[in-house]
Structure 1
Amino acid sequence: MKSRIHNFKQLLLLVNIFFLFSSFVNAQEKTLSQKIEELKKEINHLNGYQKLRLLDSLCFITRDKIEFKYDSIIKATIDYAIDIDSFDIANRHAARLVWSYTNRLGRPNEGKAFFEDFDAKKLPVTNNALLARFYLNGGDSYYFSEEVEKAIDIYNIASEYASKEGDSILYGISKKYIADAYTRIGKLAAASKMLQEVEAIYLKTKDTIRLVNTKSSRADLYSMSGFYNEAKVERNEVVKLAKAINYESGIISALLNAAIDNSFTENKSEALHNLNSALDYAQNSVEVKDRYEPQILNKLLQEYSILDSLEKATQILKKIQANPERYTKGYFEDAYNKSLGYYYLAKKEYSKSLEYAKKHYDFQIKNRSVEQKKSAHTLLYKVYQQMGNSKSALYHYEQATVINDSLMAIKRSNALSYYQTLYETEKRDAKIARKESEIEILNHENRDKQRWIIFGGLSLLAIFTIIYLSRIRKFEHKKQKLQNKFSQNLINAQENERGRIARELHDSVGQKLMLLSKSMKYVGDENTKTLAKDTLEEVRSISRGLHPSNLERLGLTESIKVLVYNINATTDLFFSEDIENIDGTVSKNVELHVYRIIQETLSNIVRHSEAKAVKIKIKKPKGEIDITVSDNGKGFDFQTKYKDMSLGLKTLKERAKIIGAKLYFDSQDNNGTIMQLNIPI
């Protein structure tokens, strides 16, 4: 009995505390509402600068609060400031409203529209720093509305005003924003060069916070190039620097972007660790919580759903839905739809999953972000696959694959461009260093030793020339090695991905189609049975194209013969072959590349050569394998073709390099083509 009374008293105490807390919150809200109403009444009885001063205060206390009609209040303040010729104040509030729309409320299109209307007024603003801020925020509105190239133009105007003001901080911010925009549209060389300039500014001004942000941009640049390890090193340094100065926004941003990189590299455990760390920092910071928490929670919901951690995913979803206006609308609506698509997919509620996946797709199809379009197609592919809609699943899978191949090509191009920039920078720095050394020598020697100066100068010039040439040779060698390694890793990753997708098609879609075909046999629906068999054969054909399963079952020699037989059966080409058994002479990895080289060569003959006959010869002399494929087609001018090498020829050369083989082509116009491949055993 005493225990029950005690429990009842505790419950009563908790209820009282709850009501007291509610009263306190309501009192605070009421006090703020009262203060706003009092200010409005006072403003109505004033004129001139006194009225403008109170309007300024009203803007401050209602800042970003939609419920108090902040945007209407700040617009009224701007109009009144213009009426009494306070153009600088009008410009300051206009810049703040554009920032609020874009960065706080997640409505960049409204920010852009207001920016354009205000900019068209061409007010005689005298403060260059205010103008720089206005154009910086205007550039942001274009950047987040996916008009990145227009954003660059606006950021450049901001940098001009910052330069006129002599404000190195504002100048650095504008240049950093331009670098971010260059990174967004793939101009990584220009972005890298500009980030170096910005870092020099912040090191000189000892501005650690902005230096952290600039380093974060460099990490993003690495990610765009596919250099995820380099990005990780840079982000770790960013977190370390940000922690040293207690810069919470910098820490959270670095952890969040690291988690996004982890998703690309399929490192789910590290992605969850980084996301939960970011969430801890966000929830313990009043200043940045609203800015980052919605994005982190939606990303966590997606990751837990993908990992089938439904209990944790449901907990995260409850947190999100507790504040729908903030976490599921505006800027975060698409992330919420995507996360729900994965959540209901994990729960096997496929109709709901499809509903949200389509919303995500409809939004991203209008977006310029290629990565997000791939993401939308991938989600729909997974949903349709689970629903048994093979046709739609295959369509979205193919679209995602095409985009992925395009992204890989872009990243490879970006990487080469980035290395070229590094080379040019090092060459320029070496030249500057040499000139400065020569000037220093000339300034400190006296006239009596002029002959020794000339002799010494020539000696130094010769030494520097030798060092310079040596460094260039080393750098060229290093760059070539890096390019080769990148290309080889790209091809290996592509083969691994093809193998994985081929297995998934065979084990998942193929098995279901086989089951469907067998089921139709008993149902008696011949049309559906025929359709299922045809679709199954198509899936198997795609699977075989993605990964040659014959290699494991038949061995390299028989696989090549089957390849020749299939092409012979489906084309008008006449094949003659002289193929020795080469099974077991090289590793499985080398066998795969040899098969791909022959497959690509025969494919090129079928598509381009207009040949009537093809001869394939495979011999195994001592210590090597010699492969020759020749045709009597139209050939091509190899010297011209080599200068502007196609992707197919580049891939053949890269595969040959991977296995340490030598690849030769002998071709002339109207005189056929011979491909020779010599593989060391």
Structure 2
Amino acid sequence: MKHLFFFLCFSLFLVACLSDGGKQGLEYPKAEPETLDFYGKYLFDAKNIEKDEYKTFFFDRYNNLLRQNKIDSAGQLLGIIGRALNYNSINDSVINSTSFAYLKQYENKISKNRRSEILYNLGNYYYYSNAYDSSIYYFNKALTHTQTYAGLNRDGMINYYLLFSTLNNGGQDSSIKFAHKSLKLFEKLKDTSMLGAVYSGIACIYNFQYNYSKAIRYEDKAYDLAKKSGDTSTIMVVSYNKINSYNTFGHPNLLPFIDSTYRYYKVWSERNFTKNQVEMYSWLALKAVRENKMVMAKRLLDEIKPKIVKVGDNVSENYYLNALAEYDVKAGANPENVKIYRDKIAEKIENEDYLSLSLYYDILHDYALKNNDYKSAHQYLKDAEVANDSLVSIFTRSKVLEYEEKYQTEKKEQEIALQKSDLARKNSYIALLAALIGALVLASFAYYLWNRQKKLKQEKENSMTFTKQLLQNTEEERKRIAGDLHDSISHELLNLKTIFTQDISVVNSKIDTIINDIRGISRNLHPVMFDKIGLVPNVEQLLERVQSQNNLFVTTEINYGGSLSSADELQIYRIIQEALTNIIKYANAHAAKIAILEQSSKITIEIKDNGKGFDVKETLNSGKSFGLHNIIERSRVIGGEATIVSSTEGTTITIEITPKS
């Protein structure tokens, strides 16, 4: 049954090529249809193919074009007649020889498209001749590999035909490969008509493997696409293949589906030539037999019997014989039909067509019994048993495949369900983890905001405290200066007035004292020569006074080139002055070190002591650290940053300043 069944599938699908296909995509716009002159239209019209003068008409025109050196026009005509014959399942050796001779002589003088069409027709010829190796060879040579509508369409059709050529040549794997190539090309063109054709071809592959469930599934998909395309030719072709599958595997919907196919057949008037009538009427006759409408079945069979020879097509003949055999099983065969069945047995055995063999053996057995030929009847009965066993084996294999497929599907569904469950569980874990991370991030962010708010609040409080202390200290400084002027300078001037009449040396001494007091007050307010002599000398003078007036030993490390402005240097001076005051008042230190180091990228001021130290954070937040805040604020004013580190071994104040470029 293998080769014959797929020969039926393939030949039927040639009808689909007569249609324009389904909806095409915009990416590959359909080319303008080929312009046919009077001769081309005549040759392409299926109604003319059966006329006696058909080939004579072709050769007169073809040879005339060659004499006029119109090689491409002659090739076009050759392609048209080859196409017309192939579409109608007619194998003509003369046209084939002419195509071969044309290619041999003019292959290098014609277009790629023309060459492809003629090679394509040669592939079809060898397919119908059952020369599958040659068919595969010419189909492969016909491939265009061009990204145009015409090129993609031709390559799609070639891969579609290679599906059946390789399948009949024993290559199931190659057949599937070509099917998928064809699908890919027709999907690009969005050609629903040919997509339906290819899916029906895939169904044939699964029928070949006796995988009934998959075959029917692909037939259903093909039928849906064919109806979607709206092309009656494709619907008919897919329907014929579906009827074949239903009949082969005993589908319960066979008879209703024959009815629905006949409804399409009746509107298929433009393609209703003899071959199609034989095929449709054969199925209608089979349906009538199954429904016990024997008179109708006989009328249909008698109507198409004389047309079998005219069609000359093995496929159509097999449709007819299948229906006739079912009729003869019920009605009894005449001697003429018995001879036909005997002659066909060898062919059916070769093609493994056990369904037909079972019918034929039943008919021959009944005929032998009727004629008292018990020996032959016994043999036919044994042969029928073998055929039926083979059928049972096929159907059993089909069921095994169906159940295996269901098992694998259920197994896969269970695996998918398990994977979904695992995925859901993992997703739950991920969601929980994400929620925890989110909560942690949110908490961290909230803590950060709280801490920042707290810090800003503390800084604001410190700033207010610093401002308050600054105002307070300013008033105290004014009070001190007023006191110094009143208690010292004013007192001394009064004394001077009292003793003005005394010895001049005493007067001079008093005046010197007053001058020194004024200088001290002035120096505390502002170093008099600061702008002229700069930072380093003023710092050195400050350290001399501190050491002379206090029990504190101070060393220095100064490497400063004067890169800062006078205003910034004054701030550094005040910072050092404030730091020394704090050391003297609070640190109980015996020694200190002042370092001013200038580098290419920064200036570092470091003030160290060996005093008792203090808690920096607590002191800064206490509201009683005006001196430290004074150092910090002055550092910021000159673009620096102050760092205070303190322990029981002493305190280090480091200020790093990045000079403005």
Calculate the TM-score normalised by the size of structure 1.
0.47
Calculate the TM-score normalised by the size of structure 2.
0.48
